[in-house]
Homo-oligomer: A and B are copies of this chain.
């Protein structure tokens, strides 16, 4: 049984629509060929001289795509009374800036603690669709956007993370961030499922990232989640709610994904820092 509320509805829809049989099993096939199950050395020495924080600060009331409250804080002791400050969090793994591990939308994908650390420091390709998204919040990042980026910047770096810069990272305090239309639909940009399929089949990419609440478009995040099933089901990871994307270049930076190592985790709040 699902818990009550939105998650219940998501699960029901996902099951009913049989997405397991389409996106996910396709993903499993790809995973057999590309499963990143073993640690890999860094290919060559990496150098950096600047760092940029790509993480939003998490707080009670941080937006979620379902509208549920996913993060609360208890002040167990305080310095004023107790001479120690110490808090306890109650947190859904997918709160704030966070990673999705393959297991999040698969039966037996890697849990967050088992993602090789060499996959946590990767080149990043930033694909800017902000002007299009400003006109149409339901737009998606397509294979043509990838090809246009490559025409300008050269092939995607091997083993990179492809990040969508939709401009949404600047809208955290705006109702547009969730894009909820009052009729249980969200209008936010995301990856197109064909882009996930293209990157799995035609490129060597470890992760995809977005500055919105979901790898999928908002309209696809109410139960269908085709990109989640396709991408995470292929054994790859995602990162959501990235901040500050205008501060890094389209090509040349590297992401460091500081995800807590929690046994069996389907994801977790993640400190994402760009190395330039």
Residue ranges of A at the interface with B (Cβ–Cβ < 8 Å): 1-3, 7, 10-11, 14-15, 19-20, 24, 41-42, 44-53, 55-59, 70, 73, 76-77, 79-94, 96-97, 103-107, 113, 117-118, 120-121, 225, 256-266, 268-271, 273
Contact = CB atoms under 8 A, between A and B. Distances in A.
Contacts of A79: 103, 105-107
Secondary structure dominating the interface of A: mixed
A109 to B, nearest CB: 9
How many copies of this kind of chain does the complex include? 2
Given A7-B76, A77-B7, A91-B88, A82 B256 contact: no
A21 to B, nearest CB: 10
Counting chain B CB atoms within 10 Å of each CB, the highest count among A44, A88, A96, A271 belongs to A271
Contacts of A7: 76-77, 82, 84, 86
Contacts of A11: 77, 81-84
Given A76-B7, A82-B2, A87 B260 contact: no
A19 B79 CA distance: 12
B15 A83 contact: yes
Contacts of A51: 42, 117-118, 120-121
